[in-house]
C-alpha cells in the first residue's frame, strides 16, 4: 500500500504546480497584432531579476506590419520575429552581442521578399 501515499503526493504536487502557470496569447491569426507587455511585476512574481516580454509591430516602409517579440529575463535579451519564421533578430547577454551579421539589416515584411532571389536564398 505504499503506492497510495505516492499517488497522493504526486496529486498534491500537480495541483500546487499549476498555481505558477500563466497562459497569454500574444499573436493570433484571428486578430491583428497589438503592442503588449507582460512583466514579472504584473504577474506578481517577486524576483531579483525581473523579466519582461514585449510584442511590438513595426510601421513604415518594408517593415510595415512586422511583429517583434522582445524577451528580457534579466540576464539575456532576445528579439524574435514571428512573421519571419521565429527568426532571432538580436540576442545579447549583458553588453555581449551574440549572433552573426546577416546581409539583411532590417526585419522586412515577407510580402516584400522575392523568395527566389539571391540564388534561391531569398527566404533566408
Model-level pTM greater than 0.75?
A: no
Q: Which three cell numbers stand for residue 66?
A: 512586422
Q: CA–CA separation, 45 vs 51, rounded Å?
A: 9
The number of folded domains in the chain is 1
Confidence band, pLDDT 50/70/90 cuts, at residue 1: very low
Predicted confidence (pLDDT) at residue 112 exceeds the cutoff of 50: yes
- Structural domain includes residue 2: no
Is residue 88 in a domain?
yes
- Which residue in this structure is represented by grid cell 513595426? 58
Place of cell 545579447: 92
CA-closest candidate to residue 70, choices 99, 21, 37: 37
Contact 66, 74 (CB under 8 A): no
In which band, very low, low, confident or very high, does the pLDDT at 2 lie, cut at 50, 70 and 90?
low
In a domain, 82, yes or no: yes
**In a domain? residue 94:** yes
**pLDDT value for 55:** 93
Q: How confident is the model at residue 7 (pLDDT cuts 50, 70, 90)?
A: low
Residue bearing the bigger pLDDT, 6 or 101:
101
Average pLDDT over residues 90-119: 83
> Looking at the domain assignment, is residue 14 inside a domain?
no
Residue 13 covered by a domain: no
64: containing domain: 24-120
**Mean pLDDT, the chain, as a whole number?**
80
Amino acid at each position: 500500500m505504499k503506492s497510495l501515499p505516492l499517488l497522493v503526493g504526486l496529486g498534491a504536487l500537480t495541483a500546487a504546480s499549476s498555481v505558477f502557470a500563466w497562459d497569454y496569447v500574444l499573436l493570433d491569426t484571428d486578430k491583428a497584432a497589438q503592442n503588449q507587455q507582460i512583466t514579472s511585476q504584473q504577474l506578481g512574481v517577486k524576483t531579483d531579476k525581473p523579466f519582461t516580454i514585449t510584442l511590438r509591430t513595426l510601421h513604415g516602409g518594408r517593415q510595415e506590419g512586422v511583429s517583434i517579440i522582445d524577451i528580457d529575463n534579466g540576464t539575456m535579451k532576445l528579439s524574435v520575429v514571428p512573421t519571419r519564421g521565429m527568426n532571432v533578430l538580436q540576442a545579447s547577454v549583458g553588453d555581449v552581442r551574440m549572433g552573426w551579421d546577416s546581409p539583411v539589416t532590417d526585419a522586412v515584411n515577407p510580402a516584400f521578399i522575392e523568395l527566389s532571389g539571391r540564388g534561391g536564398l531569398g527566404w533566408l
